[in-house]
Amino acid sequence: MMTRKLPIIAVATAQGKAGVGVVRISGQNLQPIASSLFQKKLSPRQANLLTLCDEHGEAIDQLIAIYFAGPASFTGEDVLELQCHGGPQLLELVIKRCLELGKNEGLVIAEPGEFTLRAYLNNKIDLTQAEAIADLIDAQSEAAVRGAARSLQGAFSDDINNLIEEITQLRILVESTLDFPEEEIEFLENAQARQRLAAVKEKLQALRAGAKQGKILRDGIQLVLAGAPNVGKSSLLNRLAGEEVAIVTPIAGTTRDRVKESIAVDGVPMHIIDTAGLRETSDIVEAKGIERSWDAIRLADMVIFLTDAQVGNQEDALKAQILKELPPKCAVLEVVNKADLLPESPKLPSDQALLISAKTGVGIDRLKQKILEIVGWDGPQEGTILARRRHLDCIERAAEHIEKSEQFAANGNNSLELFAEELSLAQKHLGEITGKLLPDDLLGKIFSQFCIGK
């Protein structure tokens, strides 16, 4: 997929019925295909009302065709956009007819993300912008849309490129000094190398903080509700979701399978998983469910350990067991439920613990805010950019090399080569974000996550 040059075709609009459905073709020279489709040469950037006919000359659809001559197009190649009527069967016929008429030119169905991949390979967009297109389409909240749109406009790439440029300047300085060992220190002092390095470090930290927020906004939080049977996990899920998604009964062991529901709090997606109550059981079905509870706990970003206020703090063994299974960096929040059943507030198991009632809704808003606080969400902010784990990893690796380079810079003589080397490694990791220095296999992985037609 990575290097094929054949013209490609796909439906660009969503599956299902709609007023309009767009079929898109991209290739190095599409005039021959356009001519066989419509028996005329299409002028670029003009809306042409045309009829596409089958092999017997019967109309398949009347449509609007727009020809974008490369490189002034989305992919950088020639692009032919057919705005058809939006029926799934009709669009399939249009595609079939185009494939027949484009056979000589080698027209094939596009792979997922192939249009965007071509835009990237033809330098129309960089990798963060390509990712932003996927994120913009997947965005589930207004904040996520705005964050992805900012990335697509190039805000994130600009920050990265500015930082790379500053590191490059510093590298040039250090590497040119290497040729004059006797003047090393003085030269670097005069050029304020250390101050410049400190400035780079500061910007990198700001970038990391921003990317962390962006990642929360994009990926959201995997929140697992865990605890003994009957404490009210399913009731809490229903309360958070605002609808009856899980079955609630007074019988312990009601929930067998995981129940998932996503909500947005403050624009942040929360993917909540209600699990089977944890206990020893001889029931085979329940035991399977409990196994799944543990699986969910092992993949969580945060676990809400729910207890029943009437039972008191008798769940220490279970809590210890959960703490043992948690993935690194996963937080646990202790929440005591059924507050409505007690005449006064009970003593909570810890300072962080919260008291709620899934039944009456008391404490639920506080709980939502607490979850956001624990994952480090600073609230919707001007300029937040949607970011991915991949970006954060690259930024963190770059930061490590900048820290090392700082140490070498402080050592002065004899360390300058290492100083330069660390700078170059930091630069390499930043370059991976925008895709300037990215291995092909990783590129394939990123684009294969797109759907067809993008």
Ligand X SMILES: Nc1nc2c(ncn2[C@@H]2O[C@H](COP(=O)(O)OP(=O)(O)OP(=O)(O)O)[C@@H](O)[C@H]2O)c(=O)[nH]1
Annotated binding site for (6S)-5-formyl-5,6,7,8-tetrahydrofolate: 24, 81, 124, 454
User: Which one of the spans 120-128, 159-167, 209-217, 351-359 is the region binding ligand X (CB under 6 A)?
Assistant: 351-359
Q: Tell me, by CB under 6 A, how many residues bind ligand X.
A: 23
d(C-alpha 145, C-alpha 153), whole Å: 12
Structure tokens at 173: 């300085």
Distance CA 149, CA 399 (A): 26
DSSP state of 339: G
H-run or E-run covering 152: helix 142-152
In this structure, the dihedral spanned by the alpha carbons of residues 271, 274, 275 and 278, taken in order and rounded to 10 degrees, is 120
Residue bearing tokens 């929040």: 333
Residue 233 is a binding residue for ligand X (CB under 6 A): yes
Residue from 255, 307, 427, 434 that binds Mg ion (CB under 5 A)? 255
Annotated binding site for Mg(2+): 234, 255
Annotated binding site: 24, 81, 124, 230-235, 249-255, 274-277, 337-340, 454
Question: Max alpha carbon distance in the chain (Å)?
Answer: 84
Dihedral, CA atoms, 299, 304, 306, 309, nearest 10 degrees?
A: 170
One of 129, 234, 293, 337 touching Mg ion (CB under 5 A): 234
> Which among 93-101, 177-185, 190-198, 242-250 is the span making contact with ligand X, rule CB under 6 A?
242-250
For the bound state, the minimum distance from the C-beta of residue 161 to ligand X, rounded and expressed in Å, comes to: 50
When CB distances are held under 5 to 8 angstroms depending on the partner's kind, the choice from Mg ion, ligand X, none that residue 359 binds is ligand X
Least distance between ligand X and beta carbon 355 (Å): 10
Peptide bond into 380 cis (omega under 30): no
Among 253, 346, 349, 380, binds ligand X (CB under 6 A): 253
Q: How many residues bind Mg ion (CB under 5 A)?
A: 4
358 sits near ligand X (criterion: CB under 6 A): yes
Select 340 or 400, whichever has its Cβ closest to ligand X.
340
| Residue 341 near which of Mg ion, ligand X, none (CB within 5-8 Å, type-dependent) | ligand X
Among 62, 20, 68, CA closest to 42 = 68
Of 243 and 340, which CB lies nearer to ligand X in the complex structure?
340
Distances (CA, A) of 244 to 97, 260, 305: 48, 12, 21
- Say whether residue 342 binds ligand X (CB under 6 A): no
Verify binding: residue 299, ligand X, rule CB under 6 A: no
Q: Which does 147 bind (CB under 5 to 8 A by kind): Mg ion, ligand X, none?
A: none
Nearer to ligand X, 186 or 243 (CB): 243
Asked if 26 is part of the footprint of Mg ion (rule: CB under 5 A), the reply reads no
Token pair of 164 as six digits: 């790379």
252 binds ligand X (CB under 6 A): yes
Provide the annotated binding site for GTP.
230-235, 249-255, 274-277, 337-340
Name the minimum Å distance from CB 259 to ligand X: 9
Q: How far is CA 276 from CA 99, 231, 330, 378, 442, in A?
A: 51, 11, 20, 32, 37
Sign of CA dihedral 242, 246, 249, 252: negative
Place of tokens 């309009």: 20
Q: Using CB atoms, what's the residue nearest to ligand X?
A: 277
Residue-by-residue DSSP string for 340-362 = GGSSSPPPPSSSS-EE--TTT-T
Bridge partners, 50 (sequence order): 63
Looking up tokens 């008291």, which residue turns up? Answer: 355
293 binds ligand X (CB under 6 A): no
Among 27, 220, 232, 267, binds ligand X (CB under 6 A): 232
Tell me the torsion sign for CA atoms 101, 107, 111, 115.
Answer: negative
Minimum separation from the CB atom of position 271 to ligand X (A): 18
**How far from chain centre, in Å, is Cα 61?**
38
Does 248 bind ligand X (CB under 6 A)? Our answer is: yes
Residues engaged in binding ligand X (CB under 6 A): 229-235, 248-250, 252-255, 276-277, 337-338, 340-341, 357-359
